[in-house]
Structure 1
Amino acid sequence: MDERWAGPYRLESVIARGGFGVVARATHAPTGRAAAVKVMHAELFADPTAIPRFEREAAIVCDLPHPNVVRVHEIGHLSDGRPYFAMELLDGESLDARLAAAGRLPLPETLDILEPLADALAAAHARGIVHRDIKPSNVFLAKNRAEGRVVLLDFGVAKLLDSAGPSLTASRATLGTLPFMAPEQVLGKPLDIRADVYALGALAFAMLTGKPPFGAQATAVVRQIHLHARPPRPSERAPLDPALDEPLLRALCRDPAGRQASAPELVRALRAAGETTKRPRTPGPAASSARPSMAVSALLRAEATALADGDEALLSALEMSLPLVSAELAAAGLVLVEETTTNLLAVSPTPPDPPFARRVLEACVRAYRRVLAGPLSGQPAALGIALHVGALHASEAGTILPGGLLDVAAWSPGPLSGVVATREALLGQDLPRSPCPSDGRFFFLER
């Protein structure tokens, strides 16, 4: 950033950049106290709602004294008129970084994070504030903080219920982060605190399974599926007690009236559901091993124009397709690791011998034919299925860890139509095949 000062704060280095401003590490010159200073982007001057929104974020946090909400020290303006506010400087990591390192979290750790987060949301809701952007990057896990380890950040798109002032969201009604947004928020409809209950449910889902209910990407496909598809059961996405399914799926109910009435109610329901769940060990990097495994990745694609039109027949076809694939793979002996409406990943629980590999290869071809002859028949959509044999990393307790075959982007061929397999997956097989023009590592078995 160009400016070196924000009022009495000497700006030193950029910590983070967001849609509304830059956060810098700073020092309060009169006292030497370290701080984090958020300054609005200069290019937002052209947006008449930007300054009021930025100032409102600071005012909301100032009026929300809670141990699990970041503290604001001071509000001011730069010489060019841009607003800034100074906050406590936090030491630690975001929940986003924690999930990137761990893949997913055990239930006790998840609850330890969700409980203070729900308390902070309850305090905001009691003051008529809906956060509207609950996501891993807006939750901070602080070290050595007396007020509390879990800190809720970024009220930049928060909504004040029953506000007498002018609307600051009329032109950008879908502010938020798609994978964690309630359907009514995606559609720009009026919302209340139950939008945050949905977001907290989606966050809990991501913490426990490793991914949000409908995937982490904000695409047109995900938007339509988010609005129309049923969320998967968490216990189908990760090795979780099925007792956790009901409270999470209730929080993710498309109808706000079907959700828990408050954030603390959701957390209480999760804790009650988990009382009979054995406390799992947190996997550590020193207790991991790698073994050969066969992986199958399936990806559905659809024409963007048809999705944008909200074609109900297409959405229904997409929703029915991958369950057919997963059923064939399960029957062949694979274990489902991840499934959304548009993609799935399954792996073999043991190293694949030639008979096992043959069974899986044939199951993939059979699944592809069933889907094309069934749900996708006549629809503007395509299915690609890819097979590979590589390393699967697991903890001593058997928990599958990130990396290796779970890093699908590192080995998959990308979007395609048909069934393809690598040389490693085809080792010892005499199935008919043809080279894949777009990726020399793969061979078509069906197209």
Structure 2
Amino acid sequence: MKAAGRICDVQAGDIIDGRFRVERRIGAGGMGTVVCATHLQLGEPVAIKFLNPEAAEDDDSRCRFLREARTSARLRNEHVARLMDYGVCEDGSPILVMEFLAGEDLGQALHRRGPLPVDEVVEYLLQACEALAEAHARGLVHRDLKPSNLFLTRGADGDPLVKVLDFGISKSYTGGADDSLNAKITGSYGLVGSPAYMSPEQVSGHDVCPKTDIWALGVVMYECLIAECPFERKSMAEVFVAVLKNDPPPLQSKRGDVPESMEKLCGWCLHKATEGRCPSVVSFAEELFQVAPTDARRVMVRRIRRLAQAAHTDSDRTEGSESPPIAGTSVTAWKRTRAVRRLRPG
């Protein structure tokens, strides 16, 4: 075993921060990489996320990374991937230490299985609504909901458990302490989100609100039922035209067993104008519950209502006192001093 050099060059067996042994790489994207590691003292698996070299040198990418850390720390719901630690390594690269999730994301499941059973779609989306209900109650819009950001794992009781991932481009729609981060992220990336899942207001560069996530829920629901994204096109320009002007084919024309109520809910979510769209995650959950009601789902809808009505008092308590260091500020090497403050969800 050896200590990792540059964090971007880690390999299986490398030690990060003297505490984590890298086991394998489990994901990579344009901005960052995720590895599975073992906490040497606890013997438990964790997921460590870090920026790729180019992104690590870009202030705006670091701001997005910091946004993900702060947001994940504020959200306590079991349907949000849990943040365990945040820090800056000796080479100056920030890392997130998250709970390790065994399973696959919804996009992988759709690729492997094709269209999903109606009952399964209802279950997955209701669980995602729990995470969104808390986020919206805290004034946050995810802005990048899509199948690859919904992870399918299992809870301690063995039942299916959905975790919402990647709050890195979430945005406060009520104003607050992170407005400067919002401006930096949006200013750098312009249109923020994954084009085929972006709402008309995102495509048009207008302000987002919770109904922006409702639109994305409608797109995800449509894709889950027929294994096709309704707005996917060959070019980004064609995607934007489709989002702004085209209605997708009716679900029932693609799949005969889709209930009429589900067809109507999807259309309500995909209304081009926000004023005509499903108004809240609570309304979405209440309508979706009627498609395949069970006692457990009735309890889930009640929980979503409570989360949506929750006060924001504990989110204000940690502002300014336990936030991780802002990207670009001077930070002493994490391993040497342990000076980096840690964010914990609970």
Residue 272 (structure 2) aligns with: 254
Matched-pair contact (CA < 8 Å) for 1:99–1:207: yes
Counterpart of 1:170 in 2: which secondary structure?
Answer: helix
| Map 1:256-271 → 2, pairs under 5 A | 256-271=274-289
Letter in 2 for 1:177: S
- How many residue pairs get aligned? The number is 275
Distance (Å, rounded) in 1 between the aligned partners of 2:30 and 2:141: 19
Which residue, 169, 176, 182 being the options, matches 1:157?
169
Per the TM alignment, residue 217 of structure 1 is displaced from its structure 2 partner at its CA by 5.5
Aligned-residue RMSD, C-alpha: 1.9
Q: Which is helix-richer, 1 or 2? A: 2
Letter in 1 for 2:167: F
Matched, 1:48 2:59: yes
1:14–1:218: structure 2 CA closer, same or farther, 3 Å change rule?
farther
Counterpart of 1:49 in 2: which secondary structure?
Answer: helix
**Bigger Cα displacement from structure 2, 124-133 vs 262-271:** 262-271
Distance (Å, rounded) in 1 between the aligned partners of 2:33 and 2:156: 23
Residue 260 (structure 2) aligns with: 242
| Map 1:34-45 → 2, pairs under 5 A | 34-45=45-56
Distance (Å, rounded) in 2 between the aligned partners of 1:243 and 1:72: 37
Q: Which has the larger radius of gyration?
A: 1
Letter in 2 for 1:163: G
1:145–1:188: structure 2 CA closer, same or farther, 3 Å change rule?
farther
Distance (Å, rounded) in 2 between the aligned partners of 1:218 and 1:62: 36
Per the TM alignment, residue 218 of structure 1 is displaced from its structure 2 partner at its CA by 5.4
1:217–1:127: structure 2 CA closer, same or farther, 3 Å change rule?
farther
Distance (Å, rounded) in 2 between the aligned partners of 1:182 and 1:135: 12
Matched, 1:181 2:198: yes
Residue 223 (structure 2) aligns with: 206
Counterpart of 1:149 in 2: which secondary structure?
Answer: strand
**Bigger Cα displacement from structure 2, 30-39 vs 222-231:** 222-231
Residue 320 (structure 1) aligns with: none
Residue 132 (structure 2) aligns with: 121
**Bigger Cα displacement from structure 2, 39-48 vs 210-219:** 210-219
TM-score normalised according to structure 1 size: 0.58
Distance (Å, rounded) in 1 between the aligned partners of 2:265 and 2:155: 32
Counterpart of 2:126 in 1: which secondary structure?
Answer: helix
Matched, 1:109 2:116: no
After superposition, give the CA deviation of every residue in 1:14-33 in whole Å (9 maximum; x if it has no partner): 10012321100111122221
Counterpart of 1:56 in 2: which secondary structure?
Answer: helix
1:27–1:274: structure 2 CA closer, same or farther, 3 Å change rule?
closer
Matched, 1:71 2:76: no
Larger RCO, structure (CA 8 Å, separation 6 or more):
2
After superposition, give the CA deviation of every residue in 1:40-94 in whole Å (9 maximum; x if it has no partner): 1221144221212201201111110111111111111111111101111111111
1:216–1:91: structure 2 CA closer, same or farther, 3 Å change rule?
farther
Matched-pair contact (CA < 8 Å) for 2:36–2:48: yes
After superposition, give the CA deviation of every residue in 1:222-256 in whole Å (9 maximum; x if it has no partner): 22122111232211222223332211111001111
Counterpart of 1:35 in 2: which secondary structure?
Answer: strand
1:75–1:218: structure 2 CA closer, same or farther, 3 Å change rule?
farther
TM-score normalised according to structure 2 size: 0.75
Matched-pair contact (CA < 8 Å) for 2:197–2:231: no
Runs of 5+ unmatched residues, structure 2: 1-7, 294-346
Matched-pair contact (CA < 8 Å) for 1:179–1:214: yes
| Map 1:17-32 → 2, pairs under 5 A | 17-32=28-43
Matched-pair contact (CA < 8 Å) for 1:182–1:199: yes
Letter in 2 for 1:24: V
Q: Which is strand-richer, 1 or 2? A: 1
Residue 9 (structure 2) aligns with: 2
Counterpart of 1:266 in 2: which secondary structure?
Answer: helix
Matched, 1:222 2:232: no
Letter in 2 for 1:245: E
Counterpart of 2:96 in 1: which secondary structure?
Answer: strand
1:242–1:216: structure 2 CA closer, same or farther, 3 Å change rule?
farther
Matched, 1:13 2:24: yes
| Map 1:329-348 → 2, pairs under 5 A | none
Matched-pair contact (CA < 8 Å) for 1:12–1:26: yes
Which residue, 244, 248, 259 being the options, matches 1:231?
248
Distance (Å, rounded) in 1 between the aligned partners of 2:94 and 2:235: 30
Matched-pair contact (CA < 8 Å) for 1:250–1:260: yes
1:150–1:218: structure 2 CA closer, same or farther, 3 Å change rule?
farther
Letter in 1 for 2:210: I
Per the TM alignment, residue 219 of structure 1 is displaced from its structure 2 partner at its CA by 3.1
Per the TM alignment, residue 266 of structure 1 is displaced from its structure 2 partner at its CA by 1.3
Distance (Å, rounded) in 1 between the aligned partners of 2:191 and 2:132: 20
After superposition, give the CA deviation of every residue in 1:196-217 in whole Å (9 maximum; x if it has no partner): 0000111011111221222365
Letter in 2 for 1:85: L
Distance (Å, rounded) in 2 between the aligned partners of 1:84 and 1:145: 27
Distance (Å, rounded) in 2 between the aligned partners of 1:236 and 1:36: 41
Per the TM alignment, residue 148 of structure 1 is displaced from its structure 2 partner at its CA by 6.4
Letter in 1 for 2:22: L
